[in-house]
Homo-oligomer: A and B are copies of this chain.
Amino acid sequence: MLIDEITHPVAEKCLPFRKVKVHEPFSRVAIGSVAFQNGATHPPPKGQGPVTDLEQFRAETRAWLEANCPAEMRTPMNSEKDICWGGRHFEFQSEAQKQWMEVMGERGWTVPDWPSEYGGGGLSAEETKILKQEMKSLGCRSPLTSFGISMLGPALLQFGTEEQKKRYLPQIARGEIRWCQGYSEPGAGSDLAGLSTKAEDKGDHYLVNGQKVWTSYADEADWIFCLVRTSTESKHGGISFLLFDMESEGVSTKPIKLISGYSPFCETFFDDVKVPKDQLVHEENKGWTVAKYLLGHEREMISGMGLGGGAGSSLLSEALGDIDDPILAADVARFDVDALAYQSMMEAFIDQLKAGEAHPAQPSMMKYAGTELNKKRHELLMALGGSNALEWESERSNGGAKARDWLRTKANSIEGGTSEIQLGIVAKHILQMPGA
CB closest chain-B residue, reference A326: B326
Give per-residue flags for A311-338: 1 if the beta carbon is below 8 A from chain B beta carbons, else 0: 0000000000000001101110110000
CB closest chain-B residue, reference A334: B327
Chain B min CB distance to A434 (Å): 15
CB closest chain-B residue, reference A331: B330
Q: Which residues of B contact A330 (CB under 8 A)?
A: 326-327, 329-331
Give per-residue flags for A188-222: 1 if the beta carbon is below 8 A from chain B beta carbons, else 0: 00000000000000000000000000000000000
CB closest chain-B residue, reference A330: B330
Interface class of chain A by DSSP: helix
A436 located at the interface, meaning its Cβ lies under 8 Å from any Cβ of chain B in the complex: yes
Cα A331 to Cα B331 with chains together (Å)? 10
Copies in the complex: 2
Chain B min CB distance to A322 (Å): 15
Chain B min CB distance to A269 (Å): 32
Contact residues on A (Cβ < 8 Å of other chain), bracket: under 10
Cα A327 to Cα B326 with chains together (Å)? 8
Cα A334 to Cα B330 with chains together (Å)? 11
Cα A329 to Cα B328 with chains together (Å)? 12
Q: Which residues of B contact A333 (CB under 8 A)?
A: 327
Which residues of chain A from 6 to 57 have any CB-CB distance to chain B below 8 Å in the complex? Answer: none
Given contacts A326-B330, A327-B334, could you give 8 more A-B pairs where the C-beta distance is less than 8 Å?
A326-B326, A326-B329, A327-B330, A327-B333, A329-B330, A330-B330, A330-B331, A436-B436
Give per-residue flags for A61-100: 1 if the beta carbon is below 8 A from chain B beta carbons, else 0: 0000000000000000000000000000000000000000
Q: Which residues of B contact A329 (CB under 8 A)?
A: 326, 330
Which residues of chain A from 393 to 436 have any CB-CB distance to chain B below 8 Å in the complex? Answer: 436
- Which of A327, A329, A334, A436 has the most chain B CB atoms closer than 10 A to its own CB? A327
Cα A372 to Cα B200 with chains together (Å)? 56
Chain B min CB distance to A252 (Å): 37
Q: Which residues of B contact A326 (CB under 8 A)?
A: 326, 329-330
CB closest chain-B residue, reference A333: B327
CB closest chain-B residue, reference A328: B330
Which residues of chain A from 322 to 379 have any CB-CB distance to chain B below 8 Å in the complex? Answer: 326-327, 329-331, 333-334
Cα A95 to Cα B326 with chains together (Å)? 56
Cα A76 to Cα B326 with chains together (Å)? 40
Cα A331 to Cα B327 with chains together (Å)? 8
User: What are 10 A-B residue pairs whose CB atoms fall within 8 Å in the complex?
Assistant: A326-B326, A326-B329, A326-B330, A327-B330, A327-B333, A327-B334, A329-B330, A330-B330, A330-B331, A436-B436
Cα A315 to Cα B242 with chains together (Å)? 64
Give 8 nearest A-B pairs by CB, closest first: A330-B330, A327-B330, A326-B326, A327-B333, A326-B330, A326-B329, A327-B334, A436-B436
Cα A333 to Cα B334 with chains together (Å)? 16
Cα A334 to Cα B326 with chains together (Å)? 12
